[in-house]
Structure formats: structure tokens, C-alpha cells
């Protein structure tokens, strides 16, 4: 176990979910970097066939193969894997039935695609199965191969069903390898080794989905993790100014004097009025954001705030987010 | 700076020949809100509109008076000029059930509806939602009750699922593989298997092992009961597909001014062209603009630093810094949009400035509609 004291010591599978547009993949990648820092080995997994990880790290599309994609601060590696359900199915057939070649022939005929699509839940079991296998995998000396695995999971609306494999395949298989597989997944996913983190923005809909998602997880006996509040804008304005702007009584003359002092003398009055409108809108938004922050507190989960990267998410930005995650004790 | 042709939203909504508008795009870009706002605006223009939505956020649904999944168009608002807005939420299972009930005799329908395989197929098969959205669209289109149908596409893994899934479900339902699994001898696929040196026994054997004998048996029962309906499914899917290509249909791709969302939008634009589906334009939601856009970010930052050096004027310095930040975001968004425009210079664009809060009533939707049309 690590000597560091983080909020998630002992957790080996970090599942990251969130509403579309909240930056789920970005946060998952930054979390993987943060977890790897200081000489750890972390696997970052994606399951939705979107190749989001490759795009984020500016790489060609990832094959179905664990590949190193980044070095963490202070040593440590992040590996990545894009799980494809068909490939996972073939691997599964080989593992349990020794059917590698036949499996390949069947793929050509569309049979594998067919089976992974028709049997409800099977697809999810294959995806979560591969993920949990990488969590449990050990090297010859008996040590876990990865210190942590970060799963960029389906969005909040689908995540509980995705993780809840045992119920999903209940009708499908009461006995046999699929069942064993599902039970193994459940054993990992429902254990203290797993935490399901939510990514949200300080906006009403994603916050509501986060709270609903946490409640749903709890109802199914799955372990909710932390809440990552993404794209938080810096608080630039002094509190009194914010308050004044919110009540539409920002001192326009003071602003004009300031603009002129800074050499913005042309149309200073017009500029000041336009800036005041901008500040008023900002104040309104800040008030709403504070309300959402309070709402999130109700979930009673650790919260982390990640700054909005004004220039967009690039590699440097990812490392910046990873630092922030570490500094707040999430990794 | 590149500029895209402006999307004439009112022209599109007010055109009596326009019968179907499909909003598509990746998750979290405000598709449902856009669809609802368009529907409301078209109603204000005097048209009888129904908005077909899939899984809207609770408060947005409430704002339109939808509290439950009931698969029936509910009146939202009516205007003196004869325009009206109805809205409905898609219940995919019920839609599927209704199709079965409408196209099979009662005995057979009961057999299908109680089949465990059918039950999971109709409630959780990847693609059923997309397929049923298309079915519902076809039904609404054939009913001739509406001047305009605005559809909000299901939240898919990728935007393209929406076009692919119906075809996939159709292929699956009348597919040879399905019959092959169920009754290998009848399907006449022996030759193909022989070529690949795989015995049919092997196929059923694998299917048996992986999905289990019971499921296989359920599938078998389902297929034999469903047999007569396969063709109808395929036919209706093809009809709806053609309806989407017809001149009375327009696609609007919805995006946010972010790299990922615009990349998806790009894929979608290309894909629609490949399928010869009529694209009306791109809607970019939540665009950050500044009322003081004449003052550049760089100048604003420099001025703030200047004030810091002089001392005093803290408020002005903070306001300038806030402005610089806003301009940075606006510049980045502009850049993302420009790369989209470079690839698709002829696609008309409508921008919707970001609103400070979420939309949860008709006034909010009306405001979005105004922003869309201006």
C-alpha cells in the first residue's frame, strides 16, 4: 500500500462516469496520470469505441492491446486500452473453450457481432469482465500488474446498468462460464476495491444526474466514489464587486476612471457599460453555480474542483488537471 | 476571420413544405432543448407541431407539461394564429408492443409479448430505441395530423448509431444468422460454413455455450411466432429511411463550441451527405460572447497589469481580468468553429449564445428560439 494518504487508498478500480459534455474522458485521463505519479503503473480503459483517449493524448487510434501512452510526473506510467466487445468475445472463447480459430471464422460471418448484440447484457459483461481481469491480473511474483485501473465508463444514465452485470445476465445464464464471469465482475465492482466517480459541471442538469446516479448506485449496493466538479471558472472578482454587480449597482464611474487610468481612453464610457453588463451576467451565473455547489454537498461524497482550461484541453492541460487532483487528495 | 452562411431558422420553420426536422449531435450539447425551442417557435409561426423527444431532462419535460412516459402527444401551447405545440416522450417498449399488437393476430401477439427474449429485446437491445424512434416518426408522419414533426434523436454512444441502429435491428430481425442459429438446416447456410471449415454444429454449440440453451430456445419460439412480421419491419424501416431523404425533411446537427462536439458534428455532416440526407445546417449552442468584444483579451490583460502596477483601481483591474478570461474562451470557441467551417464551408450555421442558467419553462425555450432565429 502507498505511503501517501489519499482519499482512495485501497481502491484499484476507479470508474469514471458523468453526463455527456461534462468532460468524463478528460477527468478519467487526468486521474490516471495523477494515480500513476510517483512511480505507479496505471491502466486507462475505454469501452465505448469512441477512441477518446487516443484523441486526448494525440495518438493514432488505440488497438485492442495495452499500450503505454504517457509518463506521469515523478515517474510512473499510464497504459491505455480500448476494449472492443468483439475482440473481448474472441478472447473469452479462447480462454474458456480454446476456440481461437473457429472464433475468427465466425467473426467473418458476423456471428460474433450477432451474439454480442443479441444477448442483452453480454456485451457489458465482456467489457466489465476485461476491465476487472486487468484489475486482478498478477505478475509471476504475485504482485498486481497495475496499481490502479481507471475506467472511462458509459454516461451517468447508463452506468448502473453497465456495472450491474449480475442482474443483467440473470436471465441469460444461471450457470456456466458467463455466470462465473459475471460473478467475478460483481465481486470486484461491488467491493471496497472499486469507486465510481462522477464528473459534473456546476449546472442544474448534470448536478441532478449526479445526485440521481449516486442514489441509484447505493440502491444497487455499488460503491459511489467522489464528485469531480469540472470546468470551474476562477473567482476573479472581489466579493463586494460580485454582490454589487448582482444587484445592478456596480460603480460605473469608478470603472470608467480605472479604464482611463489604464490608457483605455477611447469610448471609455461605452466600454465600461459593456463590461458592467458582462460582470452582471457573470454575477448571475456565479450565484447559480454556488447554489449547485450546495446541492452537490447533499450527496455527502468527497468533492474535487478542476479548473476550466480556457485554451482547451491539451497535454499540458491534462498534467495541470492531474496536479490539481493530487493536490486535493483524490490520488 | 471565416464566416459561415447564416442558417435561416424562421425560413426553415415557416416553410409549409417542411414536414420533418431531425436534431442530431453528440450527448450533452442541448439537443432536446434545441428541438423543443424549434418546435415552440414553429408553433408561434402558426404551424401545428409535435416534438418527439427521447429521455428529456426532468425539468425540461415539466416545462412542456410532460410528466410521464406515455407515448402520446400532449398539448403544450396553442396560439390564436392557429399554431400549436404538442410534445411526446418515446416509450420504446410500448411502441414495440403496439407494433406487435397491430400486425399479429391476438394469439400470436400474446405469444410474442410474453416471450422472455422479446422482453429483453424490446427493453434493452442496443438499437431498439433508435429503431423505435424511427417507427414513431414514421407513424406520426403517416398520420397527417401534423404540419411539422421535430425529432430529438436518442443519446447514442456515437452520433452515428442513430442512422445505423435501425438498419442493424432490421437486419437482425430478418437476418439469416438468426435463422441459422435457430434452425440451421432451413437457412441453407451450409455452403458458406463449409467454405470456412466451420460446422453448423459448431455455431449452435458456441451459441449454446455462450448464451445458454434456454435463451436459444426462447429465441427459437420468438422467431417462429415473429416470422410473418419480419418483412414488415424491414419495409417500414426502409420507408422511414426514404422519408428522411425526402425533400420535406431537414437535418439540423447540434453541437457545442467544443472540439469533441464539433468533431462529432463533422462526422455527422459527412455521413448525412453519404446517405443523401438533407442537411439544413449546424446549430452551435452555448456560445460565449462578450458585450465588450471590441476590447481584445490581450489589451484587457495588459490594461489590468498596468493598473496593478499603478495601484488602486482594484475593481477595474478585476473586471478587466474577467473580461480577458471571457475573451480567451470566446477565441478558443471561435477557433474550434473555424476548423469545422474550413472542412464544411457551405454548411449554414446558427449560434445560440450561452444563457446564464438552465432552461426550464416556455419563456426560456422562447428565448432560445429567438436567439436561434436572430
pLDDT in tens, A83-133: 988 888 888 888 777 777 777 777 766 667 666 666 657 788 889 999 999
Confidence of residue A177 (pLDDT cuts 50, 70, 90): low
Nearest-CA residue of chain A relative to B177? Answer: A111
pLDDT of amino acid B163:
67
A residues 252-291 closer than 8 Å to B (CB): 254-255, 257-259, 261-264, 271, 274-279, 281-282, 284-285, 288
Dist CA B166 CA B20 (whole Å) = 18
pLDDT, average across residues B174-200: 52
Q: How far is CA A257 from CA A245, B99, B297, in A?
A: 17, 71, 20
Confidence of residue A173 (pLDDT cuts 50, 70, 90): low
Cross-chain residue pair A157–B291, CB shorter than 8 Å: no
pLDDT of amino acid B193:
47
Compute φ and ψ for B271, nearest 5 degrees: -65, -40
Beta partners for residue B273, in sequence order: none
Which of B197, B258, B356 is nearest residue A284 as measured by Cβ atoms?
B356
Which of B59, B299, B318 is nearest residue A236 as measured by Cβ atoms?
B318
pLDDT at B69 over 70: no
Element (H, E) at A191: none
Q: How far is CA B146 from CA B10, B43, B61, B86, B362, in A?
A: 18, 11, 20, 9, 21
Cross-chain residue pair A157–B55, CB shorter than 8 Å: yes
DSSP string across A205-252: HHHHHHHHHHHHHHHTT--EEEEEEEEEPP--S-HHHHHHHHTT---H
pLDDT, average across residues B49-76: 79
Q: What is the DSSP letter of B6?
A: B
Cross-chain residue pair B259–A313, CB shorter than 8 Å: yes
Nearest-CA residue of chain B relative to A201? Answer: B28
In angstroms, the first-to-last Cα distance of chain B is 20
The three cell numbers locating residue B101: 399488437
The three cell numbers locating residue B250: 431537414
Share of chain A above pLDDT 70, in %: 92
Q: Is A71 on the interface with B (CB under 8 A)?
A: no
Dist CA B301 CA B363 (whole Å) = 37
pLDDT of amino acid B35:
94
Q: Return the domain boundaries, chain B.
A: 9-292+330-373, 297-329
Q: Could you tell me the sign of the dihedral formed by the alpha carbons of A96, A102, A103, A109, in that order?
A: negative
pLDDT at B156 over 80: no
Give the model confidence (pLDDT) of B246-282 as tens digits. Answer: 999 999 999 999 988 998 899 889 989 998 999 999 9
Half-sphere exposure of A34 (CA within 13 A, CB side): 27
Nearest-CA residue of chain B relative to A100? Answer: B206
Beta carbon pairs, A and B, within 8 Å: 218
**Residue owning grid cell 512511480:** A39
Q: Are B120 and B219 in contact (CB under 8 A)?
A: no
pLDDT at A323 over 70: yes
The three cell numbers locating residue A86: 468483439
Cβ count near A314 (within 10 Å): 13
Give the strand pairing for A148-152 and A77-82.
unpaired
Dist CA A234 CA B329 (whole Å) = 13
pLDDT of amino acid B116:
80
Cβ count near A102 (within 10 Å): 22
Beta partners for residue A248, in sequence order: none
Cross-chain residue pair B314–A255, CB shorter than 8 Å: no
pLDDT of amino acid B195:
44
pLDDT of amino acid A32:
98
Q: Are B216 and B197 in contact (CB under 8 A)?
A: no
Which of B27, B263, B290 is nearest residue A21 as measured by Cβ atoms?
B27
The three-point CA angle B330-B334-B340 to 5° equals 150
Enumerate the residues of chain A whose CB falls inside 8 A of the CB of residue B332: 310-312
Packing angle between helix A122-136 and helix A156-163, nearest 10 degrees?
80
Rounded to 5, what percent of chain B is helix, strand, coil? Answer: 60, 15, 30
Structure-model confidence comparison of residues A186 and A113, the more confident one: A186
Confidence of residue B194 (pLDDT cuts 50, 70, 90): very low
pLDDT, average across residues B303-310: 95
pLDDT, average across residues A20-29: 94
ipTM, interface predicted TM-score of the complex: 0.86
**In what order do the strands lie in the sheet containing B20-24?**
B74-78, B84-89, B48-53, B148-152, B20-24, B249-255, B279-287, B349-353
Rounded to 5, what percent of chain A is helix, strand, coil? Answer: 50, 15, 35
Q: What is the DSSP letter of A144?
A: B
Give the model confidence (pLDDT) of A213-227 as tens digits. Answer: 999 999 999 999 999
pLDDT of amino acid B186:
46
pLDDT at B229 over 50: yes
Give the strand pairing for B349-353 and B279-287.
parallel
Confidence of residue B44 (pLDDT cuts 50, 70, 90): very high
pLDDT of amino acid B150:
96
Q: Could you tell me the sign of the dihedral formed by the alpha carbons of B168, B170, B172, B175, in that order?
A: negative
Q: Could you tell me the sign of the dihedral formed by the alpha carbons of A252, A256, A258, A262, in that order?
A: positive
Which of B126, B328, B360 is nearest residue A310 as measured by Cβ atoms?
B328
Give the model confidence (pLDDT) of B162-175 as tens digits. Answer: 666 666 666 666 55
Cross-chain residue pair B320–A288, CB shorter than 8 Å: no
Dist CA A294 CA A303 (whole Å) = 11
Dist CA B123 CA B104 (whole Å) = 19
Q: Where are the alpha helices (DSSP H) in B296-344?
A: 297-310, 314-343
Confidence of residue B235 (pLDDT cuts 50, 70, 90): confident
Beta partners for residue B51, in sequence order: B87, B150
Q: Are A164 and A121 in contact (CB under 8 A)?
A: no
pLDDT at A73 over 80: yes
pLDDT, average across residues B198-227: 72
Compute φ and ψ for B165, nearest 5 degrees: -60, -45
The three cell numbers locating residue B332: 478558443
pLDDT of amino acid B239:
82
Give the model confidence (pLDDT) of A144-156 as tens digits. Answer: 999 999 999 999 9
Range scoring the smallest mean pLDDT among B1-10, B13-22, B79-88: B1-10
Confidence of residue B21 (pLDDT cuts 50, 70, 90): very high
Dist CA A20 CA A38 (whole Å) = 31
Compute φ and ψ for B356, nearest 5 degrees: -65, -35
Give the model confidence (pLDDT) of A193-211 as tens digits. Answer: 999 999 999 998 899 999 9
Dist CA A193 CA A1 (whole Å) = 12
**Residue owning grid cell 459475471:** A182
pLDDT, average across residues A162-186: 74
Structure-model confidence comparison of residues B110 and B357, the more confident one: B110
pLDDT at B370 over 60: yes
pLDDT of amino acid B191:
46
Q: What is the DSSP letter of A192?
A: T
The three cell numbers locating residue B239: 420507408
Share of chain B above pLDDT 70, in %: 82
pLDDT at A184 over 90: no
Overall residue count recorded for chain A in this entry: 331
Q: Are B84 and B102 in contact (CB under 8 A)?
A: no
Cross-chain residue pair B121–A171, CB shorter than 8 Å: no
Q: Are A330 and A304 in contact (CB under 8 A)?
A: yes
Q: Are B126 and B92 in contact (CB under 8 A)?
A: no
Share of chain A above pLDDT 90, in %: 67
Dist CA A122 CA B124 (whole Å) = 11
Q: How far is CA A126 from CA A130, A196, B136, B158, in A?
A: 6, 19, 32, 20
Range scoring the smallest mean pLDDT among B77-86, B131-140, B196-205, B332-341: B196-205
Cβ count near A73 (within 10 Å): 14
- Tell me the CATH architecture of domain B9-292+330-373: 3-Layer(aba) Sandwich (3.40)
The three cell numbers locating residue A66: 495495452
Mutate to test the interface with A, among B181, B206, B302, B336 (most CBs of A within 10 A): B206
Cross-chain residue pair A102–B168, CB shorter than 8 Å: no
pLDDT of amino acid B306:
95
pLDDT of amino acid B200:
61
Give the model confidence (pLDDT) of A288-313 as tens digits. Answer: 999 999 999 999 999 999 999 987 88
A110 in the Ramachandran plot: left (φ > 0), alpha (ψ -120 to 50) or beta?
left
pLDDT at B192 over 50: no
The three cell numbers locating residue B340: 469545422
Dist CA B351 CA B285 (whole Å) = 6
Residues 6+ apart with CB under 8 A from B239: B138
Domains of chain A from N-terminus onward = 13-233+308-327 (3.40.50.300), 239-283 (no CATH)
Amino acid at each position: 500500500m502507498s505511503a501517501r494518504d489519499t482519499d482512495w487508498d485501497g481502491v484499484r478500480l476507479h470508474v469514471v462516469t458523468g453526463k455527456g459534455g461534462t468532460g468524463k474522458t478528460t477527468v478519467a485521463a487526468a486521474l490516471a496520470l495523477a494515480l500513476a505519479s510517483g512511480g505507479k503503473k496505471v491502466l486507462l480503459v475505454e469501452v465505448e469505441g469512441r477512441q477518446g483517449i487516443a484523441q486526448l493524448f494525440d495518438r493514432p487510434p488505440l488497438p485492442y492491446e495495452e499500450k503505454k501512452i504517457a509518463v506521469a510526473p515523478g515517474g510512473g506510467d499510464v497504459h491505455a486500452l480500448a476494449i472492443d466487445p468483439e475482440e473481448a468475445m474472441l478472447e473469452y472463447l479462447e480462454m474458456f473453450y480454446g476456440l481461437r480459430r473457429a472464433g475468427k471464422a465466425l467473426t467473418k460471418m458476423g456471428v460474433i457481432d450477432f451474439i454480442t448484440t443479441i444477448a442483452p447484457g453480454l456485451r457489458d459483461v465482456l467489457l466489465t469482465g476485461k476491465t476487472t481481469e486487468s484489475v486482478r491480473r498478477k505478475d509471476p511474483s504475485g504482485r498486481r500488474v497495475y496499481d490502479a485501473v481507471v475506467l472511462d465508463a458509459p454516461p451517468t444514465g447508463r452506468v448502473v446498468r453497465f456495472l450491474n452485470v449480475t442482474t443483467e445476465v440473470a436471465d441469460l445464464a444461471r450457470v456456466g462460464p458467463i455466470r462465473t464471469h459475471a460473478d467475478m465482475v460483481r465481486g470486484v465492482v461491488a467491493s471496497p476495491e472499486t469507486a465510481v466517480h462522477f464528473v459534473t459541471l456546476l449546472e442544474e442538469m448534470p448536478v441532478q444526474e449526479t445526485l440521481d446516479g449516486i442514489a441509484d448506485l447505493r440502491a444497487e449496493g455499488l460503491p459511489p466514489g467522489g464528485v469531480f466538479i469540472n470546468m470551474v471558472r476562477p473567482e476573479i472578482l472581489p466579493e463586494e464587486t460580485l454582490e454589487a454587480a448582482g444587484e445592478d449597482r456596480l460603480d460605473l464611474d469608478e470603472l470608467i476612471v480605472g479604464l482611463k487610468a489604464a490608457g483605455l481612453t477611447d469610448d471609455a464610457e461605452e466600454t465600461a457599460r459593456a463590461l458592467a453588463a458582462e460582470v452582471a451576467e457573470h454575477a448571475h451565473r456565479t450565484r447559480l453555480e454556488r447554489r449547485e455547489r450546495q446541492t452537490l454537498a447533499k450527496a455527502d461524497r468527497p468533492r474535487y474542483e478542476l479548473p476550466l482550461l480556457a485554451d482547451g484541453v491539451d497535454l499540458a492541460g491534462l498534467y495541470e488537471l492531474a496536479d490539481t487532483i493530487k493536490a486535493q487528495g483524490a490520488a | 476571420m471565416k464566416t459561415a452562411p447564416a442558417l435561416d431558422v424562421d425560413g426553415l420553420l415557416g416553410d409549409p413544405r417542411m414536414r420533418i426536422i431531425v436534431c442530431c449531435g453528440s450527448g450533452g450539447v442541448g439537443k432536446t432543448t434545441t428541438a423543443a425551442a424549434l418546435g415552440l417557435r414553429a408553433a408561434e409561426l402558426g404551424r401545428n407541431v409535435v416534438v418527439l423527444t427521447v429521455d428529456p431532462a426532468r425539468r425540461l419535460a415539466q416545462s412542456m407539461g410532460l410528466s410521464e412516459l406515455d407515448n402520446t402527444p400532449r398539448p403544450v401551447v396553442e396560439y390564436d394564429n392557429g399554431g400549436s405545440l404538442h410534445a411526446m416522450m418515446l416509450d420504446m417498449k410500448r411502441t414495440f408492443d403496439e407494433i406487435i399488437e397491430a400486425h399479429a393476430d391476438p394469439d400470436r401477439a400474446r405469444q410474442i409479448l410474453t416471450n422472455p427474449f422479446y422482453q429483453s429485446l424490446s427493453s434493452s437491445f442496443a438499437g431498439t430505441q433508435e429503431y423505435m424512434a424511427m417507427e414513431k416518426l414514421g407513424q406520426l408522419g403517416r398520420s397527417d395530423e401534423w404540419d411539422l414533426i421535430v425529432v430529438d434523436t436518442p443519446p447514442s454512444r456515437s452520433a452515428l448509431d442513430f442512422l445505423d441502429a435501425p438498419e442493424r435491428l432490421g437486419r437482425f430481425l430478418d437476418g439469416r444468422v438468426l435463422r441459422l442459429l435457430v434452425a440451421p438446416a432451413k437457412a441453407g447456410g451450409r455452403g458458406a460454413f463449409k467454405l470456412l471449415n466451420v460446422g453448423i454444429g459448431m455455431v449452435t454449440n458456441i451459441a449454446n455455450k455462450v448464451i445458454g440453451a434456454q435463451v436459444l430456445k426462447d429465441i427459437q419460439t420468438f422467431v417462429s411466432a415473429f416470422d410473418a412480421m419480419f418483412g414488415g419491419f424491414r419495409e417500414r424501416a426502409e420507408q422511414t429511411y426514404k422519408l428522411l431523404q425526402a425533400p420535406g425533411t431537414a437535418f439540423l446537427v447540434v453541437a457545442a463550441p467544443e472540439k469533441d462536439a464539433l468533431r462529432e458534428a463533422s462526422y455527422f455532416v459527412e455521413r448525412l451527405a453519404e446517405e443523401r440526407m438533407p442537411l439544413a445546417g449546424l446549430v452551435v449552442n452555448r456560445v460565449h460572447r462578450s458585450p465588450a468584444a471590441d476590447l481584445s483579451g490581450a489589451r484587457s490583460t495588459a490594461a489590468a497589469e498596468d493598473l496593478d502596477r499603478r495601484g488602486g483601481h482594484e475593481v477595474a483591474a478585476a473586471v478587466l481580468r474577467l473580461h480577458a478570461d471571457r475573451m480567451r474562451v470566446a477565441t478558443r470557441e471561435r477557433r474550434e468553429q473555424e476548423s469545422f467551417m474550413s472542412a464544411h464551408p457551405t454548411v449554414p450555421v446558427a449560434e445560440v449564445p450561452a444563457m446564464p442558467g438552465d432552461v426550464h419553462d416556455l419563456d426560456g425555450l422562447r428565448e432560445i428560439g429567438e436567439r436561434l432565429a436572430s
